[in-house]
Structure 1
Amino acid sequence: MEYLTIFFGLMVVLFAIGIPIAISIGLTCLVVLVISGGWSAIPTELFALQMMRGLNNFPILAIPFFIFAASLMNVGTIASRIFNFANALVGHIRGGLGHVNVMASMIFSGMSSTAVADVAGLGQLELKAMRERGYPRRFAVGITGASSIISPMIPPSIALVVYGWQSGTSIASLFIAGLVPGVLVGLSLMMTSFVVSFWIPLPRSPWPGMRETLRLFWAAFPPLMTPMIIVGGIWSGIFTPTEAGAIASIYALFLGFVVYGDLNWKSLMEVLSQTVRFSSIILFIIAIATFYGWLLVRLRIPQELAMLLSGLDVSNMTILFAMVLFFLAIGCFMSVVEAILIFTPIFMLTIQALGIDPVYFGILMVLALSVGVITPPFGNVLFVLIEITGLPFEKVVAAVAPFIIPILLVIVLLVIFPGIVTFLPDLFSGR
């Protein structure tokens, strides 16, 4: 287990002093190789071969496709159509635009695939609407940031694709399993808005009537079909998760060019450039992390950890709570995808030895890590909100902090009642 300390401790130190995470992982692997004596026994060419093996994988191709589709959905009027439809549905309920904010994020999650994309796509629109209607800035910033973590849970989710590939778990089952927890997080935030409305004024919009609601639904209907096409196509066997990414990209192009006409060749080139940059970063990290995972297994670290934890005289629930606390802490310092790449190989044998469903564990892991995007010091969503609002870092953190409580309560609920996560995949698989 001494190698585990080196693996994790050295990598954290390198990351803390400002070295990019991919380089930190690579340097850690090289140091461990030298210390373990494996440097002389393992050909240096194996490093590059293992990196290529990680990228030469069909499911990984889904990542740039989903990034491309999400970027296309962020261009034009799709975000405003979703927001207007959500406002017609729940804007008249006590809590007003707080509910609209969450509902719009739940819908947009079916296209954005990441929390940062949700804030970048919907955040400015939501904050502008809440400011114009007299909502307290602190509440508006807090609910906007908190609602963004629904995106990694509702398909398509890049985090779930990466976990599925790393763990060998069905991506289709993960997509289905993420639906209920994602909705529960949304409902918990909406309940928080309802309760807060008794203490601070949260103006409500008048209900526009059934005719106008149906008109707004029809205006938002094409993008609303995106998650249905993806999940339905995967689960029915029409296409694989990777092919679903390609279908989502084609559908997004069709909406932008043909249905709405708000996509042009200039904006398409910008989207392609953004997709290449973002995909390159993720794929480079995946390549390095593949060698990291291979070295972990070679040094028998996951096997030793599994034997250690399975030999403890404690319940699985206690171990899961400990893992959740660990992931909540890790999420404060690493992005969700980076943490999944690093820790999935370490914990997979452990959860298998304990008899924990890998689909359930994946959802719990992604949700706990996702809280990190709205917590200091490295929460990506916090920095996007700073850019959008112009507020200082400490005020954005103070605004978001109270909304973390309902999200944590949902995580506790999922640990106590695993069936909340597993019943939909079991239902669709016939178990």
Structure 2
Amino acid sequence: MHTTTLTPPSPRRLVVAIDNALARCVEIPAALLVVAEILVLLAGVTSRYLLHRPLVWSDELASMLFVWLAMLGAVIALRRGEHMRMTALVGKASPQTQAFLELVAIAAPLAFLLLIVGPAIDFAQDQGIITTPALGISDTWRAAALPVGSALMLAVACLRLMRTANWTMLIAALALVAAIAGGFAALSPLLQNLGNANLLIFFVGLVALCVLCGVPIAFSFGLATFGYLALTTSTPLSVVVGRMDEGMSHLILLSVPLFVFLGQLIEMTGMANAMISFLASLLGHVRGGLSYVLVGAMYLVSGISGSKAADMAAIAPVLFPEMKARGAKPGDLVALLAATGAQTETIPPSLVLITLGSVTGVSISALFTGGMLPAIVLAITLCSVVWWRYRGDDLSGVRRATRRQIVRKLVVAVPALALPFVIRAAVVKGVATATEVSTIGIVYSVFAGLVIYRRFEWARLKPMLIDTASLSGAILLIIGAATGMAWALTQSGFSSQLAQTMAGLPGGAVTFFAASIVVFLVLGSVLEGIPAIVLFGPLMFPIARQLGINEVHYAMVVILAMGVGLFAPPFGVGYYSACAVSRIHPDEGMKPIVGYLAALVVGLIIVAAVPWISTGFLH
């Protein structure tokens, strides 16, 4: 008689099994939360506009679910390694050093999460005394998302570390992070006597060290803020969790996941392909014609998705194969893709515009109106470089599309081309708010995919919803961490000192504008647009008001400056996103992008010098 002995699973396989089970427990609720947000906001719009009976509880419920979506999305992003980080310097290191820094980039968030879990629990308990006005339930139900999300991220970070094959390197990475944390703790009595010099140590030194080592930006900000407050002040850390919660709870930011999902929908339903095919039929026979199509397509799609990563992912796979077939060099393609990403930062409904409006109090509808022309100015400067580069191309073998072909493609593209105008009309006519309008776009896209284009891949919906939650969580955790850092900077008195320095620059508004351009170019290349806006928007915009600068004009200039920095190598993370989307090595685009960046700077100067470009249609 044979007896079969069951061998216990290896520790590594057990870790993988736990990790997969945890992923399912987080991804399915996160996907359902995205669907729930769409339905709740859509119900609010329908009830108010069609039935004339506003749902008083819709915004409150949407806000409550939103914090849970943000935190669960951040968990998914951490598990997938999708939190925004700068890897320009890490990528140049030896393979062994890269592997070590990858472990440090997980160990450092682990330290932050250990710091935040306790204060997050205290914060959630403190919120129990608050009852929500419409639903009449304890606010702890909403605030509990922070400790639960932090605990889940803690578990994910531990599992990721346990999956490494090199235990020696893992112990070294943990020891390095522990040694740095212990060193700061030991120096606490000395740090408390340094005053505002601590701002340089924590918010410049520590943040720079973390970011350059590849630690995700949100956790770099969080570590610096918690370290500064814990070691140099007597502020309860639950207060910082409250500021993070406040930063992530702005209802206007709910449009982030919804526009990300909308961007994926237009690609899946074939709407992006229809737009680009029409533009290609118009300009395919012109020298550099498909490059003009790329510039125009990014302008059109940016008005829909609001996410640059979604824009590039929708366009590059459709256009690049044909452009390569016509002789375009890969480096020039990725350089132009990155440059158009910078050009379209002001096109509504840009996530940066929405974030800026929420943290500075500038009217979002005014920002949406003011953002169209500045992007056209930069598009013209980019097109001038395209014309110069392709002026000698031989197009003898390219057939020009007939009028009949163009008309046929236009008929196919009309429903897709109408989407940006539907979204804009809904906001202008008061049908929906800037937050709600994305749901109208989603319904329109679903209808177009099912009825008009007859292309709707149901199997892709679940991965799209999970991707939406992941990207949204990564963005929103940065906003929360940056809000906490901005609060700490404000409490230190730094903001008033910066305001005095900037306001006291000789030359008044002109000098302030020039200094702002330089500052936001640098910030854009290091931080990315959203955290830079959250950190410095509330500090810089009051100064602009004091100097008599129109807020919308100033907003366009700083957003475009950040966009140029964001997509400029070697540090701009947007450039590496463009390379990833187009599957082209970053080295190939370094030289070609210089001309496009110069064109963008010229366009930026024109926008700064002529306020009418930003404000001409506001009245």
Matched, 1:5 2:203: no
Aligned to 1:28: 224
Shift of residue 386 of structure 1? Answer: 3.7
Shift of residue 275 of structure 1? Answer: 0.3
In structure 2, C-alpha distance between the alignment counterparts of 1:213 and 1:129, rounded to whole Å? 17
Shift of residue 281 of structure 1? Answer: 1.0
SS in 2 for 1:93: coil
Cα distance, 1:138–1:49 mapped onto 2, change above 3 Å = closer
Is the contact between residue 112 and residue 151 of structure 1 (CA under 8 Å) also seen in structure 2? no
The percentage of aligned residue pairs carrying the same residue is 28
In structure 2, C-alpha distance between the alignment counterparts of 1:359 and 1:204, rounded to whole Å? 47
After TM superposition, the structure 1 = structure 2 runs for residues 138-287 of structure 1, keeping only pairs within 5 Å, are 138-201=331-394, 206-287=399-480
Shift of residue 12 of structure 1? Answer: 2.4
Cα distance, 1:92–1:204 mapped onto 2, change above 3 Å = farther
In structure 2, C-alpha distance between the alignment counterparts of 1:176 and 1:8, rounded to whole Å? 36
After TM superposition, the structure 1 = structure 2 runs for residues 392-403 of structure 1, keeping only pairs within 5 Å, are 392-403=585-596
In structure 2, C-alpha distance between the alignment counterparts of 1:367 and 1:205, rounded to whole Å? 36
Structure 1 residues 118-127 or 349-358, which shifts more? 349-358
Matched, 1:95 2:288: yes
SS in 2 for 1:152: helix
In structure 1, C-alpha distance between the alignment counterparts of 2:605 and 2:395, rounded to whole Å? 29
1:5 partner letter: L
2:209 partner letter: V
In structure 2, C-alpha distance between the alignment counterparts of 1:143 and 1:152, rounded to whole Å? 15
Matched, 1:117 2:310: yes
In structure 2, C-alpha distance between the alignment counterparts of 1:203 and 1:12, rounded to whole Å? 53
| Deviations, residues 196-224 of structure 1 (Å, cap 9, x unaligned) | 22345467955434433232222111221
| Deviations, residues 214-235 of structure 1 (Å, cap 9, x unaligned) | 3222211122122212222212
In structure 1, C-alpha distance between the alignment counterparts of 2:306 and 2:395, rounded to whole Å? 29
TM-score (norm 1): 0.90
Aligned to 2:301: 108
Structure 1: any 5+ residue segments left out of the alignment? Answer: none
Cα distance, 1:172–1:277 mapped onto 2, change above 3 Å = same
Shift of residue 262 of structure 1? Answer: 1.7
- The higher relative CO (CA closer than 8 Å, separation ≥ 6) is in 1
2:464 partner letter: V
Aligned to 2:238: 45
In structure 1, C-alpha distance between the alignment counterparts of 2:291 and 2:581, rounded to whole Å? 18
Shift of residue 336 of structure 1? Answer: 1.7
Aligned to 1:130: 323
Aligned to 1:357: 550
Structure 1 residues 193-202 or 177-186, which shifts more? 193-202
Shift of residue 77 of structure 1? Answer: 2.0
Is the contact between residue 95 and residue 202 of structure 1 (CA under 8 Å) also seen in structure 2? no
Shift of residue 416 of structure 1? Answer: 1.4
Shift of residue 74 of structure 1? Answer: 2.1
In structure 1, C-alpha distance between the alignment counterparts of 2:222 and 2:586, rounded to whole Å? 31
Structure 2: any 5+ residue segments left out of the alignment? Answer: 1-195
Cα distance, 1:73–1:181 mapped onto 2, change above 3 Å = same
Structure 2 residue corresponding to 1:307, chosen from 483, 500, 507: 500
Cα distance, 1:157–1:386 mapped onto 2, change above 3 Å = closer
Structure 1 residue corresponding to 2:521, chosen from 328, 331, 339: 328
Q: Which has the larger radius of gyration?
A: 2
In structure 2, C-alpha distance between the alignment counterparts of 1:191 and 1:416, rounded to whole Å? 20
Structure 2 residue corresponding to 1:15, chosen from 194, 205, 211: 211
SS in 2 for 1:242: coil
Cα distance, 1:161–1:89 mapped onto 2, change above 3 Å = same
Cα distance, 1:355–1:204 mapped onto 2, change above 3 Å = farther
2:223 partner letter: L
Is the contact between residue 127 and residue 141 of structure 1 (CA under 8 Å) also seen in structure 2? no
Is the contact between residue 156 and residue 227 of structure 1 (CA under 8 Å) also seen in structure 2? no
Structure 1 residues 183-192 or 369-378, which shifts more? 369-378
Is the contact between residue 153 and residue 363 of structure 1 (CA under 8 Å) also seen in structure 2? yes
Matched, 1:420 2:613: yes
Aligned pairs, number:
423
In structure 2, C-alpha distance between the alignment counterparts of 1:244 and 1:389, rounded to whole Å? 30
Structure 1 residues 155-164 or 381-390, which shifts more? 381-390
Cα distance, 1:388–1:234 mapped onto 2, change above 3 Å = closer
Shift of residue 420 of structure 1? Answer: 1.1
Shift of residue 373 of structure 1? Answer: 3.6
2:457 partner letter: N
1:411 partner letter: L
**CA RMSD for the aligned pairs?**
2.3
| Deviations, residues 245-269 of structure 1 (Å, cap 9, x unaligned) | 2222222222223322222221111
In structure 2, C-alpha distance between the alignment counterparts of 1:9 and 1:229, rounded to whole Å? 47
SS in 2 for 1:331: helix
Structure 1 residues 194-203 or 365-374, which shifts more? 194-203
Aligned to 1:296: 489
After TM superposition, the structure 1 = structure 2 runs for residues 71-82 of structure 1, keeping only pairs within 5 Å, are 71-82=264-275
| Deviations, residues 364-396 of structure 1 (Å, cap 9, x unaligned) | 122111123432234344334444555432212
Is the contact between residue 330 and residue 584 of structure 2 (CA under 8 Å) also seen in structure 1? no
SS in 2 for 1:313: coil
In structure 1, C-alpha distance between the alignment counterparts of 2:204 and 2:543, rounded to whole Å? 17
Is the contact between residue 257 and residue 468 of structure 2 (CA under 8 Å) also seen in structure 1? yes
Shift of residue 3 of structure 1? Answer: 5.8
